[in-house]
Structure 1
Amino acid sequence: MLDADLIYRALSETSRSGLDSFDVLDVVPSTNTWLMQQDTHERGRFRVVLAEHQTNGRGRQNKRWVSPPRAGISLSIAYTFNRNPGNLSCVTLAAGVGVANALQSFGLNTVKLKWPNDIYVGGAKLGGILTDAQTAPGSRITMILGVGINVDIGTVSNTDEYANIDYTITDLQSHVMQQLNRSKVAGTVIDQLISTVLRFEEEGLAPFRADWNKYDWLRSKQIDVTMPDCQLSGAADGIDSNGALRVMTEHGLRRVYTGSITVRGARETEA
Structure 2
Amino acid sequence: MRKEHSVKLHILKTLSDGEFHSGEALGQGLGISRAAIAKHVKGLNDWGVDIYRIQGRGYQLAQPLQLLNEYELVKRSVTQVELISVIDSTNQYLLERVNDSEKGRVCLAEYQAKGRGRRGRQWISPFGTNLYLSMYWRLDAGMAAAMGLSLVVGIAAVEAIESMGVRGVKLKWPNDIYYQDKKLAGILVEMSGQAGGAAHLVIGMGLNIGMPDLQSEIDQPWTTLNQVSDDLSIDRTQLAINLIDHWKVALEEYEMTGLAGFVERWNRLDNFLGRPVKLLMGPREIHGVVQGIDHQGGVVLETEKGLETYIGGEISLRKGD
TM-score by length of 1: 0.87
Deviation at 1:46, TM superposition (A): 2.1
The CA deviation string for residues 53-73 of structure 1, in whole angstroms up to 9 with x for no partner, is 112211122222223211110
Instruction: Say yes or no: does 1:69 pair with 2:127.
Output: yes
Alignment of 1:167-246 (within 5 A): 167-176=220-229, 177-228=231-282, 230-246=284-300
Find the counterpart in structure 1 of residue 99 from structure 2: 40
Find the counterpart in structure 2 of residue 269 from structure 1: none
Deviation at 1:166, TM superposition (A): 2.6
Instruction: Say yes or no: does 1:164 pair with 2:217.
Output: yes
Deviation at 1:86, TM superposition (A): 4.5
The CA deviation string for residues 148-203 of structure 1, in whole angstroms up to 9 with x for no partner, is 111122xx22x2xx323232111112222321211111111011111111111111
Find the counterpart in structure 2 of residue 105 from structure 1: 163
Instruction: Say yes or no: does 1:24 pair with 2:78.
Output: no
* Structure whose residues are more often strand by fraction: 1
Query: Would you say the 8 A contact 1:129–1:146 is kept in 2?
Result: yes
Deviation at 1:137, TM superposition (A): 9.8
Q: 1:264 to 1:192 in 2, by over 3 A?
A: same
**Cα distance in 2, alignment partners of residues 10 and 264 from structure 1:** 44
Q: 1:258 to 1:6 in 2, by over 3 A?
A: same
Deviation at 1:124, TM superposition (A): 1.2
Q: 1:138 to 1:221 in 2, by over 3 A?
A: closer
TM-score by length of 2: 0.74
Find the counterpart in structure 1 of residue 72 from structure 2: 6
- 3-state DSSP of counterpart to 2:150: helix
The CA deviation string for residues 76-105 of structure 1, in whole angstroms up to 9 with x for no partner, is 000123443753120100011100110001
Q: 1:39 to 1:221 in 2, by over 3 A?
A: closer
Unmatched segments (≥5 aa) in structure 2:
1-66
Instruction: Say yes or no: does 1:122 pair with 2:180.
Output: yes
Question: Please, which of 128, 150, 153 is the counterpart of residue 92 of structure 1?
Answer: 150
Letter in 2 for 1:23: E
Structure showing greater Rg: 2
Query: Would you say the 8 A contact 1:236–1:246 is kept in 2?
Result: yes
Instruction: Say yes or no: does 1:54 pair with 2:112.
Output: yes
Q: 1:229 to 1:137 in 2, by over 3 A?
A: closer
Letter in 1 for 2:291: D
**Cα distance in 2, alignment partners of residues 68 and 118 from structure 1:** 19
- 3-state DSSP of counterpart to 2:85: strand
- 3-state DSSP of counterpart to 1:87: helix
Question: Which is worse superposed, 188-197 or 220-229?
Answer: 220-229
Query: Would you say the 8 A contact 1:78–1:143 is kept in 2?
Result: yes
- 3-state DSSP of counterpart to 1:205: helix
**Cα distance in 2, alignment partners of residues 39 and 214 from structure 1:** 34
Q: 1:78 to 1:239 in 2, by over 3 A?
A: same
Find the counterpart in structure 1 of residue 57 from structure 2: none
Q: 1:138 to 1:217 in 2, by over 3 A?
A: closer
How many residues end up aligned between the 2 structures? Answer: 253
- 3-state DSSP of counterpart to 1:46: coil
Query: Would you say the 8 A contact 1:224–1:264 is kept in 2?
Result: yes
Unmatched segments (≥5 aa) in structure 1:
267-271
Question: Please, which of 302, 305, 308 is the counterpart of residue 248 of structure 1?
Answer: 302
Sequence identity, in percent?
A: 29
Q: Please report the RMSD computed on the Cα atoms of aligned residues, expressed in angstroms.
A: 2.0
**Cα distance in 1, alignment partners of residues 100 and 250 from structure 2:** 19
Query: Would you say the 8 A contact 1:10–1:184 is kept in 2?
Result: no
Considering Cα pairs closer than 8 Å and 6+ residues apart, tell me whether 1 or 2 has the greater RCO: 1
**Cα distance in 2, alignment partners of residues 108 and 246 from structure 1:** 28
Q: 1:23 to 1:4 in 2, by over 3 A?
A: same
Query: Would you say the 8 A contact 2:267–2:292 is kept in 1?
Result: yes
**Cα distance in 2, alignment partners of residues 98 and 128 from structure 1:** 13
* Structure whose residues are more often helix by fraction: 2
- 3-state DSSP of counterpart to 1:219: coil
